[in-house]
Structure 1
Amino acid sequence: MDDRTMKAVLFDRFGGPEVLYTGRVPRPEPAPGEVLVRVRAFSVNGGELAARSGRVRLLTGRRFPQRVGLDFTGEVVALGTGATGVAAGDRVWGIVGRTGFGSAAEYVTVRAERLGRVPDGLDLVAAAALPVATTAVTALRDKAALRPGERLLVRGAAGGVGNAAVQLGKAYGAEVTALARAAGLDFVRALGAHHAVDHRTVTPAELGRFDVVLDTAGTDLRAFRGLLGPGGRMVTVAFDLARPVASLGYIAASAVHGRGRVRFFSGNPRRALFDDLAREVTEGRLRPAVDRVFPLEETAAAHRALEAGGVRGKFVVRVG
C-alpha cells in the first residue's frame, strides 16, 4: 500500500451514521511546530455527531469530504521544525483542537503543545477514553473551584465528561449527586457517586440545593441554575443545539441577572492540562471508563451507539 496515503473515516454529505465510510487520504506531514502521531485509538464525542448531521454546518462549512475524530492516543512518529516537549516514540494523547476534526485516521498532525504523555502502564486503547476528561478537570477545579464538603450535581454523569466529573468530584471531597439514565445508575455509583438519580423520574426542583452544578447537556439551564444555593456556581460544557441563539444568550445574560452566573467553556487543552490529567490518573483519582471498543471500519456503528444513548463511559475506536 502507498505509504503516502492512509485510512481515514470520511463523509461526503450530512446525515446519519450511514454516511460515514473508511477511505484513503494523503498522509499528513508535520508543519513547523507540529507533531505527526500514529493513532492507536480515539473516542466518539457528541460534537462529531452534530457536525456529521449538519446541525453545526455554519461552523464546519459545506465542503466535502469531511472528517470525524476529535481526540486520540498514539505514538509520536516525527516532529516538524521547532516542535518541542515530545520525542519520537513517545506515547501521547491529545485533542485535534478547535480547527476541526480528523483523528479518526491512521495518522494525525497536531501542534506539539496540544499533546501530553500517557502515563506508563496505561493501555493506549483504554487511555482514549480520557482526553475529554480534561474538560471535567477544568470545570471542577478551575471554573467552579469545587471545595471539600460541597454538594456537587453532575448532569449526564454516565457520559464521557460526566463520569470523569463523578470520579474527580468524589476525589476532591465533594458530596456527589449523579444524574443518569436508569441503566447507568449502578455504573455511576461504582465510580463514587454518593447519590445516583434517574433523570427521567424527577424534576430539577426535586433534587434540592447544590453548591456546584456541572451540566453536560446544555438544555433546561434556567431550571438547573435555580438549584444553586448561596455562593453556588454552575458550569456547562454544552448549549442547546435546537435553540443555540437563545441558549447562548441565556448563558451570557446569567452573568448580570439572577443568582449565580452560568460559566460556559469549550475544552481546548494544552500540555500543562494533559500533565494534570496524567497526574490524576497516576495518583488514583481518575480511571478510564470504556463502554465498548469498535474497529476503525465500524466507526459508523460507534456513532449509532452514542446516538442511541445509554453510554457508560466512552465508546472507543481502535485503529489498526
Structure 2
Amino acid sequence: MPEMRAALYDRYGPPEVLYEGRLPVPDPKPDEVLVRVHAATVNGGELAGRSGRMRLVTGRRFPQRTGLDFAGEIARVGAAVTGVREGERVWGMLGRSTFGSAAEYVTVRPERIAPAPADLALTQAVSLLAGGTTSITALRDKAGLKPGERLLVRGASGGVGSVAVQIGKLFGAHVTALASGKNLDFVRELGADEALDHRRTRPGDLGTFDVVMDTVGTEHPVYRGLLAPGGRMVAIAFDMEHPVAGILYILRSTVHGSRRIRAFSGNPRHALLAELTGYAESGDIRPVVDTVHPLGDIAAAHRALEAGGVRGKHVVQVV
C-alpha cells in the first residue's frame, strides 16, 4: 500500500511531540475526492488539541494528526462524485473538530471544497481559509454587520483577525483594530480605520461599538461592556487557562442580557468557500502569510504560533 508523509504526535504535550511520519495514502469512498495537499496552516484549535486541552474530544488513540485547512489539487475522484475533475486546484477544510490536513493527501466530500483562487500560489491562498470563512460567518451571519457600523476587532494581526479587518471593511464598517504595537502599521495596511496598541489602550477609552469580534478569548465581560445598545459580540475563542469558566460565561451571555455574545463552531461548506474564492480573486481580500514552514518543521510552526506576535498565518508547505 502506498504511503504518504504526515504530521503526527504520539502523546499530548508541547510542540516538540510533533514529527513527520508516514501513513497509508487514504482511499476515497465513492462520494469523496482524494486531494493532494500542497499547503495547510496552523490554527489555534490544533494547539489545544496537541497540548491535550481537548482530550475529551480527541481521546487517547495515537498517533494523532494535525491540520484543519488545505489547498492542493484533486488526485482522484470517487465513482459517485460529479462536477469536479482530477488535476483541479481546490481549497477546503475538514469537518468540525477533524484534524489531518498537514499531510500529503486527504479525502473529503466535494461539498467541503471549492476552486482555489486562480491567481494566488496555494501557499498564499491557504492563509485565507480559516480566517475568511470564520470572519464572513461571524460578521455577516452571526452579528449582522451593516455598512457604517463601528466594528472592534481584538487580535487584529492574527490569522483570523487579519482577515476580519479586511472583511469588515469590505462590508462597509468603520474598523478599529487592537493589536500589538509592532503590528499597528500592518493592520492599517489591511484597511483598519484605527489601529491601537492593546497594551497601552484601556478598554474604557475605546468608546462604544456596534459589533465586537473577539479572537483573543479573555476579558469577555469587559469587551461586552463596550457594546452600544443593540450591539453584538462574536467570540471565536475562550480563555484556555480557564476554559470551563470561559465557556460557561459565553453560554450564559447567549441567552441573558441585551448585549448577547454570539458563538459558533465553524463548519464551512462549498457555497461559503466559493464566496471566499470570489473575494480573493477580485482582490477584495489579500493573503496574510507570516511564515512558510516545510512539513518537517511542523513543531517549529506550532511553536511560532504559540509564541504570539503573529502577522497572519503560519503556513505548512507539504509539496
- When normalised by structure 1's length, the TM-score is 0.96
CA distance in 2, matches of 1:303, 1:290: 15
The within-5 A match list for 1:4-19 is 4-19=2-17
Task: Give the aligned residue type for 1:96.
Answer: L
Q: Which residue of 1 aligns with 2:271?
A: 272
CA distance in 1, matches of 2:143, 2:215: 14
Deviation per CA, 1:115-170: give whole Å up to 9, x if none: 01112121111011011111011111111111111100001101111011101111
Q: Which residue of 2 aligns with 1:96?
A: 94
Task: Give the aligned residue type for 2:99.
Answer: F
Secondary structure of the residue aligned to 1:14 is: coil
Q: Is the Cα contact below 8 Å between 2:127 and 2:312 reproduced in 1?
A: yes
Secondary structure of the residue aligned to 1:278 is: helix
CA distance in 2, matches of 1:207, 1:296: 41
Task: Give the aligned residue type for 1:47.
Answer: G
Q: Is the Cα contact below 8 Å between 2:133 and 2:276 reproduced in 1?
A: yes
Offset of 1:112 from its aligned partner?
1.2
CA distance in 2, matches of 1:117, 1:296: 23
Q: Which residue of 1 aligns with 2:109?
A: 111
Q: Which residue of 2 aligns with 1:160?
A: 159
Secondary structure of the residue aligned to 1:160 is: coil
Q: Is the Cα contact below 8 Å between 1:50 and 1:56 reproduced in 2?
A: yes
Q: Is the Cα contact below 8 Å between 1:70 and 1:101 reproduced in 2?
A: yes
Secondary structure of the residue aligned to 2:72 is: strand
- When normalised by structure 2's length, the TM-score is 0.97
Q: Is the Cα contact below 8 Å between 2:151 and 2:168 reproduced in 1?
A: yes
Task: Give the aligned residue type for 1:315.
Answer: H
Task: Give the aligned residue type for 1:14.
Answer: Y
Q: Is the Cα contact below 8 Å between 1:33 and 1:84 reproduced in 2?
A: no
CA distance in 1, matches of 2:133, 2:234: 14
CA distance in 1, matches of 2:199, 2:303: 22
Task: Give the aligned residue type for 2:213.
Answer: L
Q: Which residue of 2 aligns with 1:196?
A: 195
Q: Pick closer, same or farther for the CA change 1:7–1:315 going to 2, 3 Å.
A: same
CA distance in 2, matches of 1:142, 1:283: 21
The within-5 A match list for 1:167-316 is 167-316=166-315
Q: Is the Cα contact below 8 Å between 1:94 and 1:114 reproduced in 2?
A: yes
Alpha-carbon RMSD: 1.2
Q: Is the Cα contact below 8 Å between 2:133 and 2:273 reproduced in 1?
A: yes
Q: Pick closer, same or farther for the CA change 1:85–1:245 going to 2, 3 Å.
A: farther
- More displaced, 78-87 or 143-152? 78-87
Secondary structure of the residue aligned to 1:129 is: helix
**Which of 124, 127, 132 lines up with 2:125 in the alignment?**
127
Offset of 1:237 from its aligned partner?
1.1
Secondary structure of the residue aligned to 1:233 is: strand
Task: Give the aligned residue type for 2:282.
Answer: E
Offset of 1:99 from its aligned partner?
4.7
CA distance in 2, matches of 1:90, 1:308: 36
Offset of 1:232 from its aligned partner?
0.7
CA distance in 1, matches of 2:83, 2:308: 38
Task: Give the aligned residue type for 2:267.
Answer: N
Deviation per CA, 1:33-89: give whole Å up to 9, x if none: 211000000111111111111111111001111001111100001122322332211
**Which of 61, 64, 77 lines up with 1:63 in the alignment?**
61
Q: Is the Cα contact below 8 Å between 1:37 and 1:75 reproduced in 2?
A: yes
Offset of 1:280 from its aligned partner?
1.2
Q: Is the Cα contact below 8 Å between 2:31 and 2:81 reproduced in 1?
A: yes
Secondary structure of the residue aligned to 1:303 is: helix
CA distance in 2, matches of 1:81, 1:234: 44
CA distance in 1, matches of 2:294, 2:205: 42
Offset of 1:207 from its aligned partner?
1.2
Offset of 1:244 from its aligned partner?
2.4
CA distance in 1, matches of 2:316, 2:173: 33
CA distance in 2, matches of 1:250, 1:81: 47
Task: Give the aligned residue type for 1:219.
Answer: T
CA distance in 2, matches of 1:229, 1:24: 53
Structure 2: tracts of 5 or more residues without a match = none
CA distance in 1, matches of 2:99, 2:207: 39
Deviation per CA, 1:182-217: give whole Å up to 9, x if none: 121111011000111111112322211000000112
CA distance in 1, matches of 2:211, 2:129: 23
Structure 1: tracts of 5 or more residues without a match = none
Secondary structure of the residue aligned to 1:286 is: coil
Task: Give the aligned residue type for 1:284.
Answer: G
Tell me how many residue pairs correspond in the alignment: 318
Q: Is the Cα contact below 8 Å between 1:78 and 1:88 reproduced in 2?
A: yes
Q: Is the Cα contact below 8 Å between 2:119 and 2:281 reproduced in 1?
A: no
- More displaced, 231-240 or 6-15? 231-240
1:76 equivalent in alignment to 2:69: no
